[in-house]
Amino acid sequence: MKALLDTSVLVAAFYETHEHHADSLELLLRYPKKEVCCAAHSLAEVYATLTAMPGVRRATPDEAVLFLGSLRERMTSIALNGSEYAQAAELAAASGAASGGIYDALIGQCFLKSQAEFLYTWNLKHFLRLEGRVGGRVRRPNG
């Protein structure tokens, strides 16, 4: 696996008017399916984000599901088992991440499980704080 894309990259890839759309979409399309992945729970985060946007940016549930289908055709999703969820909590605690930081730790744990080279995100600070093997391999899609 070459790359794990976080939710911020996937959401930006959806919206043509998003400031990071071009870089996010290019990254999504750069790799064949066997080389690019996301955390399985990022699919739920993408759905939640797209269908909660304000005004005209809000996607309908059907539009969000169609986009998720496109993502699933383009990339592999990495799911965690029970003990891997516990490891993600340990990663969050060791990094001092509290509250919603657990979701970043879940993505970090999926990144470790995938053995991808890099974790791509627009939210660098969320992942740079994660211990060692994750934080050192975080990149912006255009960086």
Q: pLDDT tens-digit profile of 1-22?
A: 999 999 999 999 999 999 999 9
Please name the residues in contact with 130: beta carbons below 8 A apart, sequence gap of 6 or more. 91, 92, 95, 97, 104, 105, 108
CA angle 74, 141, 64 (to 5 degrees): 45
Q: What is the pLDDT, as a whole number, of residue 56?
A: 86
Q: pLDDT tens-digit profile of 32-85?
A: 999 999 999 999 999 999 999 998 889 999 999 999 999 999 999 999 999 999
pLDDT at 132 over 90: no
Residue range(s) defining the domain that contains residue 81: 3-139
Question: What's the domain count of the chain?
Answer: 1
What is the pLDDT of the chain when averaged over all its residues?
94
What pTM did the predictor assign?
0.93
* Cα 20 to chain centroid, rounded: 14
> In the structure, what pLDDT confidence band is assigned to residue 104 with cuts at 50, 70 and 90?
very high
Work out the average pLDDT over 113-138: 90
Q: What is the CATH number of the domain that holds 70?
A: 3.40.50.1010
Q: DSSP letter for 31, please.
A: S
H and E: helices and strands count for the chain = 8, 5
Buried b (16+ CB within 10 A) or exposed e, 32-42: eeeebbbbebb
Buried b (16+ CB within 10 A) or exposed e, 107-123: bbbbbbbbebebbbbbe
